[in-house]
Structure 1
Amino acid sequence: MIPTLINNPLFRGISPETLAASLQEVNFLTHSYKKGEILARQGDVCNRLIILTRGSVRGEMIDYSGRLIKVEDISAPRAIAPLFLFGEENRYPVEVTANESTEVIEIPKSSVLALFRKNERFLENYMNLSANYARTLSDKLFFMSFKTIRQKIASYLLRLHKQQQQTKITLDRSQQELSDYFGVSRPSFARELARMQEDGILIANRKEITILRKEDLIRLIQ
């Protein structure tokens, strides 16, 4: 378990010996889930830190019609919704379901607080991870503000263009990951990307995108 946890960003910079000693001083549980089993339901109180040590899960949000909307996949050794462990409304924002046979370590909130007191590096890592998670949520809300898939793609490509400072850019996610990120189906995403290529706006070659008409992308999001 310790070798897996060391690879989690929460424990970055903490030696295996220090981590093992710290865990011996707090309460925690290990749990196994079969494929399809639910680890947490949307709206449940988030009173424990769940860290995957093997396998993967998916987070799905249930809308008012009862439809499940996939938010993201989470694989070991990541933590599940660490941002929501604290706060007045600390409830799981999504339903978490095992994609496969999955093992986790569950650390009660009180034990997480004890680890904060014992190890400043763990506290700093937790704060950094929470800040990154909040930024990711903010980005998703930003892309959801655009009505069409083409607008979402245009905004994303312009952001990568600004970061990479070149006309030929490399996508930092697969098409499936981008589809989940934008909240659209993979076929819909692929079709729109193909249409943008047919319109002469870009050239798509797997994860490489060559922007041919940057001004068209800018007009799409104005």
Structure 2
Amino acid sequence: MHPYLNQISKINLFKSLSLDTIEQHIFKDSIIKSFEKGEVIKGRGDCLNHMIVLLFGKIQTEIVDFNGKIFVIEQIKAPFVPAIGFIFSKVSLPMDIIAVEKTTILFIKKEEIFSLLMKNKEFLEIFLENIGNKVNFLSNKLQINTLKTIREKIFYYLIQLYNQQMSDKIVLQNSLEELSQLFGIARPSLSRVFSDLEKEGIILKKKNEIKILNKDYISNLFENKK
């Protein structure tokens, strides 16, 4: 049995595949490489000939603007498949993929992935779902990036969930760590603002559920921006 088989099987994308299929196709002619902190795994302008699978460690995707300012898109912990939307794209990568700590990457030939997509309907559905989720994440990231304050970012996110769930009790779809990445802020800062909003009687937060107590505050917050 391949030593990384169990680690691969933890990834949502591969949950429909048997261990035998993973061993026969995913590891066939694949390449495993280690990267030290700060090393570029793939850079802007590169084309992907392989699926990148983050086995161990943590990576960061980032872009640089015309003034040289680095904009972090997200930080990703293993195990995960980053840049999934670029595997079969003719467009080169628009961002850098950097190792945040010592990281192990599995590079799978895209021909093997294509073969599995053609043979396994459930794998295809999960693959497309992952791409859709990533598009949604980036869309929200861009919209949230236009908002100035942490409060605005929080309430924009909560309004999106409220419209989806149509309930006064909003169930968070992301952990605080994931939200801090989405908002582009430090996790302690996010926790502090959530705490302030509770003290001010604007929201009530219990674990991953939030109830909005003062809807007028939110309406006025965004009304004043018009």
The equivalent residue for 1:111 is 112
After superposition, the CA RMSD in angstroms is: 2.8
Compute the displacement of 1:188 (Å): 5.2
Q: What are the residue-to-residue correspondences of 1:71-90 with 2, within 5 Å?
A: 71-89=73-91
Separation in 2 of the partners of 1:19 and 1:188?
A: 41
Answer yes or no: is the 8 Å Cα contact 2:60–2:73 preserved in 1: yes
The equivalent residue for 2:221 is 220
Answer yes or no: is the 8 Å Cα contact 1:72–1:181 preserved in 2: yes
The equivalent residue for 2:64 is 62
Q: What are the residue-to-residue correspondences of 1:87-166 with 2, within 5 Å?
A: 87-89=89-91, 91-163=92-164
The equivalent residue for 1:18 is 21
Compute the displacement of 1:209 (Å): 4.2
189-198 vs 37-46, which deviates more?
189-198
Answer yes or no: is the 8 Å Cα contact 2:25–2:112 preserved in 1: no
Separation in 2 of the partners of 1:76 and 1:183?
A: 20
Normalised by the length of structure 1, the TM-score is: 0.82
143-152 vs 1-10, which deviates more?
143-152
Compute the displacement of 1:38 (Å): 1.6
Gaps of 5+ in 2: none
Deviations 1:160-190, CA, capped at 9 Å, x for gaps = 4455555554544444432321223446545
Compute the displacement of 1:9 (Å): 1.7
Compute the displacement of 1:83 (Å): 0.7
Deviations 1:142-162, CA, capped at 9 Å, x for gaps = 323434433222111233445
Separation in 1 of the partners of 2:209 and 2:217?
A: 19
The equivalent residue for 1:202 is 203
How many residue pairs were aligned?
A: 220
SS at match of 1:80: coil
Normalised by the length of structure 2, the TM-score is: 0.80
One-letter amino acid of the structure 2 residue matched with residue 53 of structure 1: L
Compute the displacement of 1:79 (Å): 0.5
10-19 vs 168-177, which deviates more?
168-177
Deviations 1:114-156, CA, capped at 9 Å, x for gaps = 3333434332321121111112112222323434433222111
Gaps of 5+ in 1: none
Deviations 1:36-56, CA, capped at 9 Å, x for gaps = 222111332223210011222
